[in-house]
Structure 1
Amino acid sequence: MAQRKPTITDVARTAGVSKGLVSFALNDKPGVSPETRKRILDIAGDLGWRPSLSARSLSTSTSYALGLVIRRKAEVISADPFFPAFIAGVESVLAEEGRALVLSVVPDAAAELRSYRTLAGDNRVDGVFLTDLRNADERFGLLAELGLPAVALGRPDPAVPFPSVQLDDTRGIAEAVAHLASLGHSRIAHVAGDPHMMHGGRRRSSFDDAMRDAGLDPALVVETDFSASSGADATRRLLDDVRPPTAIVYANDPMAIAGLGVAQQRGLRVPHDLSITGFDGTDISGYVYPALTTITSDPVEWGRVAARSLLELVASGSVDSVELPPASLLIRASTGPAPSHRGSDAAHS
């Protein structure tokens, strides 16, 4: 038989006080002496009492949950380590606060907007995280209309009406290009992300600017949906070129690892014949062979900071945007000097 959970009545009986006094103490309301409050809290802890979120929600008109709606293909989410790491950071904060994360993965824009309307209409969440910011993003107007607090993830356009947790990812891309150029590479390609997402377009622009700064042609670019499969397809296209690149800068680690596999299947030696860089600094990137040169960020800390920001916004009605340390290049074994002419020809064989 399952053990009955202790209730506020049990706490009051053990402490020898009224349920009303226990409620005041547990909810940190005035009218309870510090000594009595401490005794009640200690007894509640000893009994293993935990607050009922449903009861608290009814009494405070608060859901005690935050929402995250991700509009991407399920297979992209399952293969991209960023989101699990980000969610782990969020959960580490929410667990301490006795709150929950409501996650919804949707396939398209219509489903995404419906999801936000449902979350707000059913009072299921007190606020939401906005990820994968887009140009002319319909969510901005909808969330303002719904009155749903939101914190944006990433470096938004000045027109975004929400506070944000930002990370400068442009410097990392520029460092990757400069690193490869210093190694003698001139045919450098970029496997870019979705251009409709602000961070995908921003990384593409950073690549273009860095290539021009190095006196190189930024024409070798293939746009993708950030999935590993599209990264592999893009790599095949680039290596099939009459003059294939000697280095490829990928917009995330999963695509870079997929590209690494394609290169090795073709008999190319990385980095002797082809240099490869990723983005995100995922844990697995250090264990592939050769270990991946990548642009590091910290998605777990991003999740922690975003959760604290959104909780503060919900509680006080305002919060300042936060600038995280910029992404930076971590050089490992997947990049090396540009190959000889004979070596670069091997990429097309």
Structure 2
Amino acid sequence: MSKNKTIVGVAAGNHDASISVIRDNTLVYAAHSERYSKIKNDKYLNKEIIDDALSCTDGFVDTICFYERPLLKKTRQLYAGQYKSVFSNFYYRECLRKIRKQLNNTPEVKYIRHHKAHAAQAYLSPFDEAIVLVVDSIGEWDTISFWLYRDNDLILLESIKYPFSLGLFYTAFTQYIGLKPNEDEYILMGMSAFGNLESVDYFIDKFNFNLINYEKMYNYNFHKGVRVSLNEFSSVDIAAAVQFLLEKMLCKLASRVEYYQNMYKVDNLVYSGGVALNCVANSNVFLKNFSNNLFIFPNPGDSGTSTGAALVENKQRINFDSIYLGYSMKNLDTDAVDSIVDYILKNRIVGLAHGRAE
């Protein structure tokens, strides 16, 4: 791949919109829409983030890469009975049109398989080769996938498809205990430390868990939510059981990773997808099993797939020296500095952030 190309990666329309720019084989910009709009998990691209991203391009872009294949996704939505989504939510066309309108040329637009956009974060790793594991709620159809990263190429080894999904499983219980899905999963993870595991056997029976078969470790459609009453259990006990079962399922996937590592004689693991944000499971499963041979991109969830989509097109390791590539916070003016000094003199605590956000 030529080093003088400019590639823009875009993730938008579902949740956690973002834009990334690779220029001359260097990641020069990567930002999260919510930093600009101040709307948590904002799914839309606002004018400010688009302007900032395109200021890194000099008005010329070779390729725009979108983080999923929208029409393929609609086939899964049709299968799932999400008819409203099938015939609406064409926002991707609007946001891509806004970006192209501000350029001095008409770049090609490529729609990247969602799990490949996650897997491409391997190009940011310190590894020349690795097995890549992607685990999230759902891509177009994929919910779990295994890839071989070697010779600057990504080869799909295996994928597990909807409706079996570890991400949907975890999100369903996040919603069940009254938290916000696709946002508050970290709270469920934290709550799990305060519960006991007495409900695990009940969960295994009620939701038809089979922890032997890694391809389908339960027989229940969590995309439709938790449709049984669990009133006999406290929220923290539910959280503990859910976290425990998630880790058990991830252990099975880790064993499958080891199978592929032995097959291809590769020591390293790159782990991505929204489930990779669960740092408790990361510590209990992946750090224990893979130690120094593990790479998790700092933003493995969907907002990181704008970077991944651009990396798919770039097709090689890139220069990646800092995660501070996003929203630029304003410099402090004299009045702000004076106020900080006053707080310090009063023995108050001051938090200070400046420069570009991660």
TM-score w.r.t. the length of structure 2 is 0.24
TM-score (norm 1): 0.24
- RCO (CA 8 Å, sep 6+): is it higher in 1 or 2? 2
